[in-house]
């Protein structure tokens, strides 16, 4: 079969090889997982089951059930956001669909799209699928992976049409304060960039409150905010996200969505509605658990002598690897049975780092950290001998 | 200063956790955790530490019953006086005063149904203030102290995901 150039030019994801290696081995503790170890809150699951029992298995309106959009509109003011459920909110099949729709609605062929790096692996390919050219904006470890005007300048983002940012960040766990975002916002206003803000980890912020860039002066009209239920509500497999933006952007996204997706999964919409209305305690409990694990993991890395910046969001630590990140991750997997993801998978600036997910129960996490400690100590002994 | 409630929360999850790991999770010094635990124990806020046992997986006979007790008190006798007598029995592992149709909710544990029945009829029922006993033998336990006794689902997530 003749395949499209687009398909042929899309490389397999960099985590594929690690996935295959890890799957072949027994007794692997994986800290390579990008999703919660919790199941969706029981009340949300029960609401989904109840909706199925009542036979709610039809499509919903393209934009998603109005009741759900209203619940979202009632939920986001906690981040200082205010959107009209009728015209400024679109419910999507995971935040991933929202990212795809936003890019297709905002990017013309040949447009440069400045993309934060390191970041989630789908952004670059997503930009290409929309016909745009991804322009990586490297954030730096010495700035705790917070994007600066200097980073944007150096990347040549002034000529881009769209800027994609993601805070709290996968893979680094970095968050951006209102002051940090003000610098990015000023650059976006000065160079007339539309901002696509993936805030899927907003609910998992551990020090201070999450700030959305859309709340800064002059930014609401040029920003599409993306969020969803996967991370904070532990609903990855239910595939439900949403986009918030000015009505012209949401209209445009909905025009594509109505042909490609029709509507987000109905069962998941019922679960999400219940999640917003009745599961905030569950979210807070999960956040507390992640926060404790975060402090545990980072302090263990620091005691091992690995440079590990103090991640304040999502559920990832991003320590420096003792040597080449890919080789180290492979050696660690082979000799200790602990899977982590080499930082380079997430972009240029990820080189030399490891993404360590702490979305794993404490007993596995303790065992994994002990194994890593042993392995790092062995590496150091080996190095001292040679 | 780490929070005592947060420390209690962690101990309730796993009281055998090392103070080193607890300190890392709370973001404080190990010595601080130790002194907070000593304080909680000293104040009588923490009375002890026990495992949650699924007796069906231990090769021994073990029977538990929930016993409802109704009391009739007089001017000189209070609930606490009667409770003081009942709590002295080792067979009684829990005793609570509850609202509703009966007064005391008693958990009795023993090696056999006969042991438990005998204990209730010979030791509890004769207490002068006790007017009625209703014994419910526990037939199965599905959850206790926040822990599910049913095999929980394995982690079915992909081992590596973006």
Select from A34, A295, A296 the Cβ nearest to the Cβ of B161: A34
| A42-279: CATH architecture | 3-Layer(aba) Sandwich (3.40)
**What was the pLDDT predicted at B1?**
52
The full set of domain ranges for chain A reads 5-40+281-380, 42-279
For A306, the token pair is 């690995």
Mean pLDDT value of segment A349-360: 96
Q: Rounded to an integer, what distance in angstroms lies between the CA atom of residue A103 and that of residue A122?
A: 12
B55-67 pLDDT per residue, tens? 999 999 999 999 9
Cβ of A30 within 8 Å of Cβ of B10? The answer is no
Q: Do domains A5-40+281-380 and A42-279 have the same CATH topology?
A: no
A 10 A CB-CB count for A22 gives: 21
For B33, the token pair is 């955790």
Cβ of A295 within 8 Å of Cβ of B160? The answer is no
Element at A329 (helix H, strand E): helix A325-336
Task: Provide the pairing of β-strand A223-228 with A194-198.
Answer: parallel
Which of the residues B21, B24, B159, B160 would you substitute to probe the A interface, choosing the one with the greatest number of A C-beta atoms within 10 Å? B160
Higher pLDDT, A17 or A108: A108
Interface of A with B (CB under 8 A): 13, 15, 18-19, 22-23, 28, 30, 32-35, 37, 39, 120-122, 170, 288, 292-293, 295-296, 299-300, 339, 341, 362, 366
Decide: A344 and A18 in contact? Cβ < 8 Å.
Answer: no
For A125, the token pair is 């390919």
Residue A50 has pLDDT above 60, yes or no: yes
Q: Rounded to an integer, what distance in angstroms lies between the CA atom of residue A271 and that of residue A110?
A: 39
Q: Rounded to an integer, what distance in angstroms lies between the CA atom of residue A307 and that of residue A29?
A: 22
Helices B19-26 and A280-304 pack at an angle, to 10 degrees, of 110
The DSSP result for A12-43, as a single string, is: PPTTHHHHHHHHHSSSPEE-B--S-SSPPPHH
**Diameter of chain B by CA atoms?**
71
Q: What is the CA radius of gyration of chain A?
A: 21
Decide: A301 and A93 in contact? Cβ < 8 Å.
Answer: no
Q: What is the CA radius of gyration of chain B?
A: 21
Grade residue A382 by pLDDT with cuts at 50, 70 and 90.
confident
Residues 4-43 of B with CB under 8 A from A: 9-10, 14, 17, 21, 24-27
Query: Which ranges constitute the DSSP H helices of A29-172?
Result: 42-53, 66-75, 94-106, 123-129, 149-155
Percentage of residues in chain A having pLDDT higher than 90: 93
B19-52 pLDDT per residue, tens? 999 999 999 999 999 999 999 999 999 999 999 9
Residues of B in contact with A33 (CB under 8 A): 157-161
Q: Rounded to an integer, what distance in angstroms lies between the CA atom of residue A146 and that of residue A142?
A: 9
Decide: B138 and B65 in contact? Cβ < 8 Å.
Answer: yes
Identify the CATH assignment for A5-40+281-380 out of 3.90.1150.10, 3.40.190.10, 3.40.50.1370, 3.20.10.10.
3.90.1150.10
A75-109 pLDDT per residue, tens? 999 999 999 999 999 999 999 999 999 999 999 99
Q: Rounded to an integer, what distance in angstroms lies between the CA atom of residue A141 and that of residue A320?
A: 9
Does the interface predicted TM-score (ipTM) exceed 0.90?
no
Give B83→chain A minimum CA distance, Å: 36
The full set of domain ranges for chain B reads 4-42, 55-139
| B4-42: CATH architecture | Orthogonal Bundle (1.10)
Select from A23, A122, A296 the Cβ nearest to the Cβ of B159: A23
Q: Rounded to an integer, what distance in angstroms lies between the CA atom of residue A117 and that of residue A140?
A: 9
Q: Rounded to an integer, what distance in angstroms lies between the CA atom of residue B105 and that of residue B103?
A: 7
Coil, helix or strand at residue A160: coil
- Domain topology for B55-139: Alpha-Beta Plaits (3.30.70)
**What was the pLDDT predicted at A378?**
93
Nearest residue of A to residue B16, measured between CA atoms: A363
A 10 A CB-CB count for A46 gives: 14
A276-328 pLDDT per residue, tens? 999 999 999 999 999 999 999 999 999 999 999 999 999 999 999 999 999 99
Give B6→chain A minimum CA distance, Å: 10
**What was the pLDDT predicted at A93?**
98
């Amino acid at each position: 079969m003749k395949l499209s150039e687009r398909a042929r030019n899309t490389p397999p994801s960099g985590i594929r090889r690690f996935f295959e290696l890890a799957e072949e081995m027994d007794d692997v503790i994986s800290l390579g997982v990008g999703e919660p170890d919790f199941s969706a809150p029981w009340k949300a699951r029960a609401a989904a089951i109840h909706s199925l029992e009542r036979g709610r298995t039809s499509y919903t309106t393209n934009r998603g059930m109005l009741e759900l959009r209203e619940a979202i509109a009632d939920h986001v003011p906690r981040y200082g956001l205010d959107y009209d459920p009728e015209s400024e909110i679109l419910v999507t099949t995971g935040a991933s669909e929202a990212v795809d729709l936003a890019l297709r609605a905002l990017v013309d062929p040949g447009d440069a799209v400045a993309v934060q790096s390191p970041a989630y692996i789908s952004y670059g390919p997503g930009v290409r699928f929309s016909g745009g050219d991804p322009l990586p904006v490297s954030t730096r470890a010495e700035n705790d992976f917070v994007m600066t005007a200097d980073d944007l300048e150096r990347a040549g983002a002034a000529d881009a049409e769209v800027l994609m940012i993601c805070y709290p960040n996968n893979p680094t766990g970095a968050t951006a304060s209102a002051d940090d975002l003000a610098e990015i916002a000023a650059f976006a206003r000065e160079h007339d960039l539309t901002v696509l803000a993936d805030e899927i980890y907003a609910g998992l912020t551990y020090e201070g409150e999450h700030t959305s860039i859309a709340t800064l002066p002059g930014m609401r009209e040029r920003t599409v905010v993306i969020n969803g239920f996967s991370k904070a509500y532990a609903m990855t497999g239910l595939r439900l996200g949403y986009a918030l933006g000015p009505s012209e952007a949401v209209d445009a996204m909905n025009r594509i969505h109505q042909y490609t997706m029709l509507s987000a999964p109905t069962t998941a919409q019922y679960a999400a509605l219940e999640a917003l209305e009745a599961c905030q305690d569950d979210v807070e409990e999960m956040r507390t658990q992640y926060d404790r694990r975060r402090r545990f993991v980072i302090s263990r890395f620091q005691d091992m002598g690995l440079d590990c910046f103090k991640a304040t969001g999502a559920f990832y630590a991003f320590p420096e690897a003792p040597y080449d990140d890919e080789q180290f991750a492979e050696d660690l997997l082979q000799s200790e049975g602990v899977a982590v993801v080499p930082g380079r998978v997430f972009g240029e600036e990820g080189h030399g780092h490891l993404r360590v997910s702490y979305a794993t129960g404490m007993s596995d996490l303790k065992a994994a950290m002990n194994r890593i400690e042993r392995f790092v100590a062995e590496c150091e002994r080996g190095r001292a001998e040679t | 200063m780490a929070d005592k409630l947060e420390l209690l929360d962690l101990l309730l999850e796993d009281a055998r956790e090392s103070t080193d790991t607890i300190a890392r999770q709370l973001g404080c010094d190990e010595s601080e955790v130790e002194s907070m635990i000593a304080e909680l124990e000293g104040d009588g806020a923490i009375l002890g530490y026990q495992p949650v046992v699924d007796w069906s997986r231990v090769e021994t006979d073990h029977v538990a019953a929930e016993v409802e007790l109704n009391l009739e008190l007089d001017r000189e006798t209070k609930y606490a006086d009667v409770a003081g007598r009942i709590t002295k029995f080792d067979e009684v592992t829990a005793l609570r005063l509850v609202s509703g149709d009966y007064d005391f909710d008693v958990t009795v544990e023993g090696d056999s149904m006969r042991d438990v029945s005998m204990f209730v009829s010979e030791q509890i029922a004769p207490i002068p203030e006790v007017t009625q006993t209703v014994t419910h033998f526990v037939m199965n336990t599905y959850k206790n102290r926040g822990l599910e006794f049913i095999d929980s689902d394995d982690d079915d997530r992909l081992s590596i995901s973006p």
